[in-house]
Amino acid sequence: MKRGQTTARAGLCLRDAPKVGNIIDALKYGTQLEVLSQETWLKVKTENGQIGYVLADYVELSELKAVAIEPGNTAQHTQIMTYHPKTSRIQGQPIRIDRQFEHVIEWLEEKLQQHDISMWVTSSLREPGKAVSAAVVNPATLSNHFIGHAIDINLFTENQWFNSSKLNRLNIKDDSLQTSLTPSDEERVRRFLHDVVYASSASKIQTTLRWGGNFSPSDPVHIDDGLNIWDNAKYYAKLRQIWPEYVL
Ligand SMILES: [Zn+2]
């Protein structure tokens, strides 16, 4: 039996038939469901026995099949999920991201391991505060947090905590990286962020990640993949799929 829970913040319509069916109920965020069939529309049963259809994009399935992600598709595979860290290198708030951002977090987790530091996640998916229009998609104001392609973090080691002000003081550009076999805590953090910015595009994830410490104004707790800048159409398609109620 497949189970899932709804992920639409503003509620999800339960219908008596796919797409054009009558609305039977509005399901609250986090409603537990038994999935009876799985298409674009899921046939589901609620805990109180109502049977109907909901849009698959707003249900996080407990047992997920691997989804092949073809390059070039737009929002087709947008699906908000919770990332479950494989190690204790990632701690903090639940990580709510787009499934297409999952490989980035996996890669970050490997990098944390490599540099022997840990990450405390303070924020991931965020709800837009106001409606947005396709006509005025402004990358500067449209956060990658809205589509689950950004995280805010602190970094830490056994001995030190790197919060916003501490991260802000790091110069990660410096290419005279210490070659010491036992780098200091700060140097390990610096090398990690250096890899995030300068090694990500040539790595297996082939994604140019951005560190907010390079933004103006600086936002040193922020990491994203710049989708709002690099692929505005894809960004907007995802935004519309995740937050239809905000998109004009
Ligand atoms: Zn952020």
- Structure confidence at residue 67 (pLDDT): 39
C-alpha 150 – ligand 1 centre gap (Å): 6
C-alpha 149 – ligand 1 centre gap (Å): 10
C-alpha 211 – ligand 1 centre gap (Å): 9
Q: Residue 54 is part of which domain span? A: 2-61
C-alpha 220 – ligand 1 centre gap (Å): 9
Any domain includes 72:
no
Q: Residue 68's closest CA among 59, 60, 77?
A: 77
Which residues lie below 8 Å from residue 237, measured CB to CB, with a gap of 6+?
74, 75, 78
C-alpha 195 – ligand 1 centre gap (Å): 18
C-alpha 30 – ligand 1 centre gap (Å): 24
C-alpha 19 – ligand 1 centre gap (Å): 35
Any domain includes 168:
yes
The CATH number of the domain holding residue 119 is 3.30.1380
Count of structural domains within the chain = 2
C-alpha 122 – ligand 1 centre gap (Å): 9
- The pTM assigned to this predicted structure is 0.68
Answer whether the bond into residue 94 is a cis peptide, omega within 30°: no
Contact 65, 81 (CB under 8 A): no
For 149, 167, 214, 222, the CA distances from 218, given in Å and listed in that order, are 18, 10, 6, 9
C-alpha 140 – ligand 1 centre gap (Å): 12
C-alpha 24 – ligand 1 centre gap (Å): 37
Instruction: List the pLDDT tens digit at each of the 248 positions of the chain.
Output: 677 788 777 777 888 887 777 778 888 888 888 877 766 777 888 888 888 888 877 777 764 333 344 444 455 678 999 999 999 999 999 999 999 999 999 999 999 999 999 999 999 999 988 777 655 556 667 899 999 999 999 999 999 999 999 999 998 887 666 677 788 999 999 999 999 999 999 999 999 999 999 998 899 999 999 999 898 889 989 999 999 888 87
For 18, 31, 56, 205, the CA distances from 13, given in Å and listed in that order, are 11, 12, 11, 36
Any domain includes 171:
yes
Q: Number of C-alpha atoms within 13 angstroms, CB side, residue 59?
A: 32
- Let me know whether 178 and 227 are in one domain: yes
C-alpha 127 – ligand 1 centre gap (Å): 12
Any domain includes 69:
no
